[in-house]
Amino acid sequence: LGRRLLPAPSAHRASRAVRRDFERREPYNYLQVAFFKLKKLDQAVSAAHTFFVANPQHLQMREDIEKYRRMSGVKSDSFRDLEATPHWEAYEAGMQHYNADEYLQAVARLEESLTEALSALEECRALCEGPWEDEDEEEKMQPGLYEAIAAHYIQVLKCRQQCVLEIATKPGRISATEDFIPSHLDLLQFAYSQVGNQTLAAECAASYLLFYPMDEPMLEKMKQYHTELGEEAAVTARQSIQHYMQRSLVEKKLIYYAVEHLGETFNDPDLWTPDELIPENLKEKYREDQEKQKQEILDVEEREKRGPLPFEGIAVTMDSQQMNGTQRVVFDRVLTESECKDLLRLTKAAGEAGDGYRARRSPHTPHERFEGLTVLKAMQLAQNGDVEWRDAKLLLQASEKSRKIIESYFTPGKKLHFSFTHLVCRTAVDGEQEGRMDLSHPVHADNCLLDPEGQECWKEPPAYVYRDYSGILYLNDDFQGGGLFFTEMDTVTVTAEVHPKCGRLVAFSSGKENPHGVWAVSRGRRCAIALWYTHSQEHAEQERVKAQELMDQRAVEQDQPDGDERQGTDGSSRSSSEPPAPNRGTKPADRRQKPGSDRKLHPKVLRVRDEF
């Protein structure tokens, strides 16, 4: 019966892989190359810009865009988005007018955006019709005809519900703007009141209250509008919004019935869904999630009452309050001058045999050269005799010491694992600093994609979403520029600055609360150890495991346990940068692995792009 009823493939559906490529605008990546080869520059620029809008982290395309901007004969209006959706164009224009207090223009563009968004919603819903698309690759046998029909119908309903996320997702993003439709009504209500059109302001307020009937500020506004318009004035919500709401509620009711009785799952895209529609067992899970969030907030507050640091002589120079932010700190005296010199000696190897850039132009700016060395590469160079073992060992020790300091300060009792360790130098290119306007490293956050216009940070690929804390251990200060700075979400308003010096460690949480960048290095060479940490053991840096193995192997060859080697060849003590030596009967902490991972001691090498 199933075979007989199987429909022919629907004409409007492509495969998921093809649809995913088009969502990512991959064809435009090929088109810009083809147009460039054909010497059709304006079309190449448009294709490149269209791809870049959806892939702002694509470094090669960013470089291509900058080259196009410098080319003569390229028109500025060629930098246009060929896939721009009408409602997003109108929305962003409306928000610009709204933020500039130009409410008359804002009303026109936001109304256009709302109309276009509802139209796009209908188109998306229509495309939900079609043959069954099993989420799993393996075909499941349905228990019966009625169950198969129900499952198919619920799939269509869920697809329709998810359409609001599709229209609310800005091109190039995965995460949607929350409350996209209701927020239009809220903005329009205020804008209409500012231009003196109280009738339409009241209509928008009434429409907004369909979503949030207990919103106190909006209820107060409605009272005000009733007073101004007269109690006899009939104020009703818009017909289009009433229809949208009624239809959505009926669909949600059916879906939640299927969740409760047919074993379906559903991620509700809306924040405004009434509580009475949600089954009790799901409400309980929601309450548990809320409690977990509250506990995390309490944990953060508890961390303010911290104990002593694990090493003597280290000073907290600036804390979060002094740095005008949250989860930020600066430590001094983490390394001695002698240790900084030894690590700087190691950086020379980075320019000659580093991990990919080898003193080439920086990926962030053409005005600087970039050199990098990972812990594993340092150990391999030591094994080959290209650098001294004690210098390579010091890199391991200094980064481990930093990890223990940051863990004890921010997450006492909760293990931090290395995510990536990178010894990095940035060198100003002589003769190319005059009139320079760019940064050594543009403002960014370490575990999410910063969207200054939307005042949001999207925790989605290609960001390293598993990173929890970041650190920079500075090795020198004999250069100009190169300071670290923190900003607001707008990437422009600077809230704090940190000036590099030997032994200074700056640490901060990796999320949207800490956007940061690096001022241009205008003269000399700035070197530091860049450090990223994660609570997730599965994302722990596997290169450190291999590097530690090489270090242990060296200790065995020298017939001397690794923990006993405390003096450098020049006689200078290394104890200030070494964590306490591990017990002879146990493995070092950063060699622990989850069960069954012993076959993964030789994973693919991490690429230097992790530094981005």
Among left, alpha and beta (phi > 0; psi -120 to 50; other), residue 389 is: alpha
Is 588 part of any domain?
no
Q: Label residue 113 by pLDDT band (50, 70, 90).
A: very high
Q: Kindly give, in sequence order, each residue whose CB lies less than 8 Å from that of residue 97, ignoring residues fewer than 6 positions away.
A: 103, 105, 106, 109
Is 193 part of any domain?
yes
pLDDT at 582 over 80: no
The lowest-confidence range among 80-89, 132-141, 489-498 is 132-141
Is 414 part of any domain?
yes
Q: How far is CA 479 from CA 359, 476, 499, in A?
A: 17, 8, 11
Total of domains in the chain: 3
Q: Which of 514, 534, 554 is the last residue of a domain?
A: 554
Contact 180, 94 (CB under 8 A): no
Q: Label residue 218 by pLDDT band (50, 70, 90).
A: very high
The lowest-confidence range among 145-159, 354-368, 395-409, 542-556 is 354-368
Whether residue 238 is found in the same domain as residue 347: no
3-state secondary structure 217-254: HHHHHHHHHHHHHCCCCCCCCCHHHHHHHHHHHHHHHH
Q: Label residue 306 by pLDDT band (50, 70, 90).
A: low
Q: Label residue 299 by pLDDT band (50, 70, 90).
A: low
- Kindly tell me the number of DSSP H helices and DSSP E strands found in the chain: 17, 15
**Which residue would you say has higher pLDDT here, 347 or 612?**
347
Q: Give the pTM.
A: 0.53
**Which residue would you say has higher pLDDT here, 34 or 73?**
34
Whether residue 169 is found in the same domain as residue 46: no
For residue 198, the enclosing domain spans 87-133+145-297
Q: Label residue 37 by pLDDT band (50, 70, 90).
A: very high
Mean of pLDDT values over 48-56: 87
Annotated catalytic residue within 125, 403, 526, 554: 526
Whether residue 399 is found in the same domain as residue 500: yes
Mean of pLDDT values over 81-89: 90
Is the link from the previous residue into 86 a cis peptide, with omega within 30 of 0?
Answer: no
Q: How far is CA 72 from CA 42, 43, 76, 381, 436, in A?
A: 11, 15, 11, 46, 20
Is 413 part of any domain?
yes
Question: Given this model, what pLDDT does residue 612 score?
Answer: 32
Contact 471, 334 (CB under 8 A): no
Whether residue 432 is found in the same domain as residue 482: yes
Is 594 part of any domain?
no
How far is the C-alpha of 438 from the C-alpha of 66, rounded, in Å? 12
- Tokens at 41, concatenated: 């520059």
Q: Which of 297, 324, 351 is the last residue of a domain?
A: 297
Look at the block and give the residue holding tokens 């490529």. Answer: 21
**Which residue would you say has higher pLDDT here, 356 or 243?**
243
pLDDT > 90 fraction of the chain, expressed in percent and rounded: 48
Whether residue 46 is found in the same domain as residue 92: no
Is 205 part of any domain?
yes
Q: Which residues pair with 567 in a beta bridge?
A: 573
Q: Which of 554, 581, 598 is the last residue of a domain?
A: 554
Q: Please say if 173 is a catalytic residue.
A: no
The lowest-confidence range among 146-150, 205-209, 304-308, 355-359 is 355-359
Whether residue 425 is found in the same domain as residue 459: yes
Whether residue 265 is found in the same domain as residue 413: no
Whether residue 74 is found in the same domain as residue 103: no
Buried b (16+ CB within 10 A) or exposed e, 416-427: bbbbbbbbbbbb
Whether residue 343 is found in the same domain as residue 433: yes
Whether residue 538 is found in the same domain as residue 453: yes
Whether residue 488 is found in the same domain as residue 383: yes
Q: How far is CA 358 from CA 246, 347, 364, 481, 609, in A?
A: 62, 11, 15, 22, 14
pLDDT > 70 fraction of the chain, expressed in percent and rounded: 81
Is 308 part of any domain?
no
Note the pLDDT tens digit of each residue in 399-417: 999 999 999 888 877 899 9
Q: Label residue 332 by pLDDT band (50, 70, 90).
A: very high
Is 226 part of any domain?
yes
- Tokens at 86, concatenated: 């009408």
Average pLDDT value for the chain? 82
How far is the C-alpha of 448 from the C-alpha of 465, rounded, in Å? 6
pLDDT at 513 over 90: yes
Whether residue 190 is found in the same domain as residue 48: no
Contact 197, 108 (CB under 8 A): no
